[in-house]
Amino acid sequence: MEIVNSGGYDRAVQTQRIDPVNCSVARALAVVGERWSLLIVREALDGARRFGEFRARLGIASNLLAARLDTLVAAGVMRRVPYQEPGDRQRFEYRLTDQGLDLRPTLVALLEWGDKYLADPQGPSVIVRHRPADDRTACGEPVRVTLECAAGHTHLPPEAIYRAPGPGARFLDRA
């Protein structure tokens, strides 16, 4: 790899190919890439906690829901919290961990994309709006995902973004 100065900034130009198997996108999709997984996270973000709530909200088969919840718990996206109703056996609620809560921007970005390209002709079915925790400064305006670099530059067009090797990059040998 070499560094090229282009327009006042340094840009890495790949002369070696990065191993695509060592990829955080692929690892993330292994956890949440199955359709039901992100829908379960969406419902948890909206307050669902118990198995029956997830099943009723999503219309998902019990065996599939159990498998997806097991995957999300094993990956650290959710955790099981025991509870027991009087006269009933112990059961578990499912709560998002910090790792799970950090998926909110991903879901908002997918919602934005879906609204732009796949919404019904009448428009989107849901609009995510701004509501601060204290509700005193809530403006109620729609929320959107914005890409921002570490220097604080926002509204980056696609051509202003590139992938550069990180500290964990593994390079393929040239054949």
Q: Which helix (H) or strand (E) holds 62?
A: helix 62-74
Output the average pLDDT for the chain: 88
Q: Tell me the HSE value of 53 on the side-chain side, using a 13 A CA sphere.
A: 15
Give residue 96's pLDDT band: very low, low, confident or very high (50, 70, 90). Answer: very high
Query: Domain map of the chain by residue range?
Result: 2-160
User: What is the predicted pLDDT for the residue at 1?
Assistant: 45
Mean pLDDT along residues 57-65: 97
User: What is the predicted pLDDT for the residue at 2?
Assistant: 45
Q: Which of 19-23, 42-46, 66-70 has the lowest mean pLDDT?
A: 19-23
Closest Cα to residue 32, out of 112, 80, 102, 81? 102
User: What is the predicted pLDDT for the residue at 98?
Assistant: 98
pTM of the model: 0.81
Rounded CA gap, 83 and 95, in Å?
A: 12
- For the chain, what is the radius of gyration of the CA atoms? 21
Rounded CA gap, 154 and 71, in Å?
A: 35
- How many secondary structure helices (H) and strands (E) does the chain include? 6, 4
Q: Per-residue pLDDT for 10 more than 90?
A: no
Task: Please state which architecture CATH assigns to domain 2-160.
Answer: Orthogonal Bundle (1.10)
